[in-house]
A and B are shown apart, each in its own frame.
Chain A
Amino acid sequence: MSIGRDEVLHVARLAELAVADAELDRLVGQLNSIVDYVAQLDRVPLDAEVTPFQPGPAAVRLREDEVRPAPMVRGPEAVAPEFVDGFFVVPKRGGGLVEG
């Protein structure tokens, strides 16, 4: 299966990742080589009895449904790019230049 430029741009949009025109051809080549490589799994016979692996302990422990304070030595105002009056500040939605 071959991935083209449009498909890379589509996936980049899904991943909210800007991709410059200058790097697009190189990325197309590298992504195709990776996807071609992993396609060798098609050679593994998989009958219906083989179920997907489930990671982690068989039974995940559930905590009590209660709010507990996080042990933070500094608050969001110290780590956020912009934090005002208890809110994370971002530009408004919509500007028309980026298609989703």
Chain B
Amino acid sequence: MATGHATDHATVAREVGARFEAAAGLNAALHWSQANLDVEAARLARGDGAGPLGGMPVAVKDNIVTTDAPTTCASRILEGYVSPYDATAVVRLRAAGAMIAGKANLDEFAMGSSTENSAYGRVLHPLDPARVPGGSSGGSAALVAAGVVPAALGSETGGSVRQPASFCGIVGLKPSYGRVSRYGLVAFGSSLDCISVFGRTVDDAARVLAAMSGVDALDSTTVDRPPLTVPAPRGDLRGVRIGLPREYFPADLDPGVRAGLDRTIAAATQLGAEFVEVSLPHSPYAVPTYYIINPAEAAANLARYDGVRYGQRRIGPDGDVRALYQATRGEGFGPEVRRRILVGTYVLSGGYYDAYYDKAQRVRALIVEDFRRAFGSVDLLLTPTTPTTAFRAGEKTEDPVSMYLADVFVAPASLAGLPAMSIPVGRSEGLPVGAQVIAPMMEDERMLAAAAALETIVDAAGEVR
């Protein structure tokens, strides 16, 4: 199988096309074509392939805009929409020598934790078709886990790359908020959204992240720092103090997940790391905080889908412009998107703003302060990425709150804007277990270096007990 480092880009393009065909049953890709792959190969052969990514095929979540394929956000309301511009991340990846391979399925507008909310059908877990790959970037995760591409872009608002990476047994990397331009990432929760990366290895994910990172005049929230560098490999973790937050190791944690973390702690200790218990006392409030802030921002951001400037249009029975808005949005959005818009509008509406939104932003400040205090005594944090391994399709679809709780360990770092990543650390009853590494703000390289060291000695494909 091609690794993405081959110089014969046309051959790689044909192999990637064949792998998309072979993996079609996963329903992980929404748009790809051999013709587009061949155009990419020709561009790389003309010179871009000499860049640091050397022709690496990279799939892109279908909420990141591209001019050569539709961007639907897995929603009926954007069916057939083709963007007039490319996302900054895509422009930079192409310039760095990536082959943009195709667009990946997702939960509609990235709202979900199982990729069951796509208007174009659910994505199947590559190891067990009865299970979910996680979400919302489940299509990107499945494409990497199935070996279609070595790396893929996802997006994180509250764990939408780390959680599916954990479920699928691959690396999932969320940078610090502001490291990667959001220009061209379809806006969902603007204070949380981060373009993020899946890879088969830490190095592949880190190289893709480095190529995209850096300040962008088109996104005023990007941080004015030089692009990330991929840390040089180090063979040990001597001198690294790692905190284990007690709130992330509850008594009812899945035994397989706990065994995976025990094995990771043992491996890191062998590499010379020192572990200490810490506390992040407000972390248990992260999910309820998130499910106020996120719907509020989503309701505001999704107001733009009105059937006027782009996207699908439905005409109301009386032809009035407001009937047009209501019919377009009522028919165009799926159930979870409608729920979030309604909750978000409710918490922002007159009389409720202070009780919900303002309070949530204050609790968020406490969550940020917890992390700041913990990082006063440790270099990194290590936690489970998810409370369980991949769950069965349909298991949580009728109960939104139980679905939201799948993100209990990933939401806190999103609220705080911190770099965080999931690495595979073994399997429990055949299903992957992920460990999460969280670093202080802008210390992405420290996190990557530690994850790369752990990757060298943790048997990610082996059973944990």
Q: Which residues of A contact B345 (CB under 8 A)?
A: 11, 14-15
- 1/0 per residue A3-17: CB within 8 Å of B? 100011001101111
Complex CA distance for A15 and B322, rounded to whole angstroms: 11
Asked if A97 and B323 make an inter-chain contact with CB atoms under 8 angstroms apart, the answer reads: yes
- Does B318 contact A18, Cβ atoms closer than 8 Å? no
- With CB as the reference atom, state the residue of chain B lying closest to A47: B362
Bound complex: CA A26 to CA B220 (Å):
41
Judging by beta carbons under 8 Å apart, are A90 and B288 in contact? no
Q: Decide yes or no whether A22 CB sits under 8 A from chain B.
A: no
Partner pick for A34 among B307, B330, B338, B401, CB 8 A cutoff: B401
Instruction: Give which listed residue, B82, B318, B339, B364, contacts A95 with CB less than 8 A.
Output: B318
A96 engages B318 (CB within 8 Å): yes
B178 cross-chain contacts in A, Cβ below 8 A: 56-57
Could you name 18 residue pairs across A and B whose Cβ atoms are closer than 8 Å? A14-B345, A33-B401, A34-B291, A37-B288, A40-B288, A41-B285, A44-B282, A44-B285, A44-B363, A52-B358, A53-B365, A53-B368, A57-B223, A76-B309, A79-B81, A80-B308, A81-B308, A97-B317
Count of chain A residues with Cβ under 8 Å from any Cβ of B? 60
B346 x A92 contact (CB < 8 A):
no
Known A40-B285, A92-B321, A98-B316; judge A78-B365 contact (CB<8 A). no
Q: Interface residue count for B (Cβ, 8 Å)? A: 73
Q: Name the distance in Å between B226's Cβ and chain A's nearest Cβ.
A: 15
User: Interface digits, B178-215 against A, CB 8 Å rule (1 contact, 0 not)?
Assistant: 10000000000011100000000000000000000000
Known contacts A40-B285, A41-B360, A90-B321, A35 near B349 by CB under 8 Å: no
Question: Cβ of A74 and Cβ of B84 under 8 Å apart?
Answer: yes
* Bound Cα distance from A72 to B85, whole angstroms: 5
Interface, chain A (partner B; CB < 8 A) = 3, 7-8, 11-12, 14-20, 27, 30-31, 33-35, 37-42, 44, 46, 50-53, 55-57, 60-63, 70-76, 78-82, 88, 90-98, 100
Report Cα–Cα, A37/B287, bound state, in Å: 9
| Residues on the B chain within 8 Å of A35, using CB | 343, 346
Q: Quick check: B84 and A14 within 8 Å, CB to CB?
A: no
Question: When the two chains form the complex, which single residue of B307, B310, B362 contacts A52, counting CB atoms closer than 8 Å?
Answer: B362
Decide yes or no whether B378 CB sits under 8 A from chain A.
no
Counting chain B CB atoms within 10 Å of each CB, the highest count among A27, A37, A55, A91 belongs to A55
Q: In the bound complex, how far is the Cα of B282 from the Cα of A21, in angstroms? A: 40
A66 to B415, CA, bound (A): 34
Whether a CB of chain A sits under 8 angstroms from the CB of B221 is yes
Residue picked from A11, A46, A75, A93, most chain B C-beta under 10 Å: A11
Which of B335-376 touch A at CB < 8 Å?
A: 338-339, 341-343, 345-346, 349, 356, 358-366, 368
Does B417 touch A at the CB level, under 8 Å?
Answer: yes
Question: Quick one: closest A residue to B336, CB to CB?
Answer: A30
Interface: B109 (CB within 8 A): no
Residues from chain B with Cβ under 8 Å of A56 in the complex:
177-178, 191, 221
Interface residues in B383-414 by Cβ distance below 8 A to A read 399-401, 404
Residues of B within 8 A of A34 (CB): 291, 339, 343, 400-401
Q: Is B310 within 8 A of A92, CB to CB?
A: no
At the interface, yes or no: B250 with Cβ under 8 Å from chain A? no
Contacts of B415 in A (CB 8 A): 53
CA distance A27 to B400 in the complex (A): 11
Residues of A within 8 A of B327 (CB): 18
Answer yes or no: B32 CB below 8 A from chain A CBs: no
A88 and B310 alpha carbons, distance in the complex (Å): 10
With both beta carbons as reference points, the residue of chain A lying nearest to B327 in the complex is identified as: A18
Q: Report the separation of the CA atoms of residues A12 and B415 in the bound assembly, to the nearest whole angstrom.
A: 27
Complex alpha-carbon distance, A59 and B224, angstroms: 10
B252 close to chain A: CB less than 8 A: no
Cα distance A33–B85 in the bound complex, in angstroms = 40
* Shortest 10 CB-CB contacts between residues of A and residues of B: A18-B330, A95-B320, A55-B191, A52-B361, A95-B318, A81-B313, A72-B84, A53-B364, A18-B326, A79-B310
